[in-house]
Amino acid sequence: MAVKKSELYSTLWKCCDELRGGMDASQYKDYVLVILFVKYISDK
């Protein structure tokens, strides 16, 4: 079964909100950027 792009976006957004909790968005972005960087490096 294919997942619609809007459903995927909505689910990812909800997950990010849960992970962030009470943390400020400016602090949370630092963690996300590190995770994306590690993923980028590991894919090479």
pTM for the full predicted model: 0.51
Read off the pLDDT of residues 3-40 as tens digits, 9 standing for 90 and up.
899 998 999 889 888 888 888 878 888 888 999 999 99
User: What's the rounded Cα separation, in Å, for the pair 6 and 29?
Assistant: 22
Q: What angle do CA 13, 9, 7 make, to 5 degrees?
A: 115
User: What's the rounded Cα separation, in Å, for the pair 41 and 20?
Assistant: 24
pLDDT of residue 44: 80
Q: Between the CA atoms of 15, 29, 6 and 2, what dihedral angle is there, to the nearest 10 degrees?
A: -70
pLDDT of residue 16: 82
20 near 28, Cβ under 8 Å? yes
